Amino acid sequence: MAQFTMKHLAESLGLNPATVSRALDPDKSHLVAEATRLRVIRAAEEVGYTPDPAAASTRRRRSSTVGILVPDLANEAIVNVLRAVGDVLERNDLTALIAESADSPERSRRTLERCRARRVEAIISLAATEADAELMASLARTIPTVLAIRTLDSVKLPTVCCDDVRGAALVADHLADLGHTRLIQLMGPPEAATFRNRARGFETAAGLRGVMSAPTLFAAHATAAEGRRLGEQLFSGPRDQLPTAVFAHNDSMALGLVEAARVAGLRVPHDLSVVGYNDTTMARDFSLPLTTVRYPAQDVGTQAGVLAVSLIQGGTAPKKPFVFPPQLVVRESTARPRSR
């Protein structure tokens, strides 16, 4: 039987071979209309076509690489998960190809398409958002694919994560136990399931304790700069209407908020209690050690790596996600609210 070529694929779709070539090239696919690109990719998958000219002779050759997509290489918690994944891959003679998405759907798409073109043996995404769901599902049909840290609601894929609902509930209970009655959240980008889950866990637990939660402030990026910006916005209002405690969805935002409070003349925790999430080095070593939630980075990363290796070796995908428990770490940034 003759090898199925790009010309055959183009003829079956009624397209010019050059259009098909661009649609399948991660560096040039932006030149093709999105509907056409998706049509070409689906057709290529159906017939098992790959643009690699040496595909027939290399189909069974191992690349010994695993593509790993991360949202932010400046995020210590993500880097800790990444290191744990890398340790597992190294022990199994696999090399990690790491790329940063910066939470850009287009950048994620290009990176994942390049992973497909380079015939990685598996993909581990620490950066998945619902905007990536369709492509992730498409990749998973031919490439072992694992989600770590972030989950997807619309696609069921092998997943390893932290119980972020529980982690945020621990924060709400801690603040309620201290006697706080006015709480607010600094939420990370809602496109990421981690932040949606933390928001849900916090709101639910606060409601069960009868504690009022003010409208959430949304961060465009989960960074210290955004924490400062949202803090400045929050502290510009009347002092008698300020919350008594703030839950920031990661330590970077929490520390940015603490700095904004200092500039506004507020003392943490005397005037305002602040809690973060992840238990990064900054949270421990800051001049005011931060109360936070310890993210099980080693467990999540190790399990994600083990799962990817198992799938590469022909193992069966688990029916349920691996979910690891977080831990509340109480330090000096929280205290009982003072009378106002």
In a 13 Å sphere around the CA of 163, the CA atoms on its Cβ side amount to 11
What architecture is the 164-294 domain classified under in CATH?
3-Layer(aba) Sandwich (3.40)
Return the CATH number of the domain spanning residue range 65-162+297-326.
3.40.50.2300
Q: Which fold has domain 6-60?
A: 434 Repressor (Amino-terminal Domain) (1.10.260)
Q: Is the peptide bond before 321 cis (omega within 30 degrees of 0)?
A: no
Q: Encode pLDDT of 190-238 as tens digits.
A: 999 999 999 999 999 999 999 988 889 999 989 999 999 999 999 998 8
Each domain of the chain, given as residue ranges in start order, spans 6-60, 65-162+297-326, 164-294
Identify the CA nearest to 66 among candidates 303, 314, 317, 305.
305
> CA-CA distances (angstroms) from residue 12 to 22, 88, 140, 142, 283?
16, 43, 25, 22, 58
Joined together, the tokens standing for residue 21 give 């070539």
Contact 68, 82 (CB under 8 A): yes
Rounded Cα distance between 153 and 251, Å, is 25
Report the DSSP pairing between strands 212-213 and 182-187. parallel
Full strand arrangement of the beta sheet holding 159-162: 95-100, 65-70, 122-125, 145-148, 159-162, 322-324
Residue 22: predicted pLDDT: 86
Task: Tally Cβ neighbours within 10 Å of residue 34.
Answer: 10
Which residue ranges of the chain lie beneath pLDDT 70? 1-3, 27, 51-62, 340
Rounded Cα distance between 204 and 208, Å, is 6
- Report the SS3 class of residue 308: helix
Q: Tell me the chain's radius of gyration from C-alpha atoms.
A: 23
Q: Where are the alpha helices (DSSP H) in 126-250?
A: 133-140, 164-178, 193-208, 224-235
Q: Encode pLDDT of 108-130 as tens digits.
A: 999 999 999 889 999 999 999 99
Residue 215: predicted pLDDT: 84
Residue 63: predicted pLDDT: 82
Contact 277, 253 (CB under 8 A): no
The residues, any chain, with a CB within 8 Å of residue 335's CB and separated by 6 or more, are 178, 269, 270, 273
Contact 293, 277 (CB under 8 A): yes
CA 32, chain centre distance (Å): 29
Report the DSSP pairing between strands 292-294 and 327-329. antiparallel
Check residue 210 and give left, alpha or beta (phi > 0: left; psi -120 to 50: alpha). Answer: left
CA 280, 281, 287: angle at the middle one, nearest 5? 115
The residues, any chain, with a CB within 8 Å of residue 306's CB and separated by 6 or more, are 88
Residue 27: predicted pLDDT: 67
Topology alike, domains 6-60 and 164-294:
no
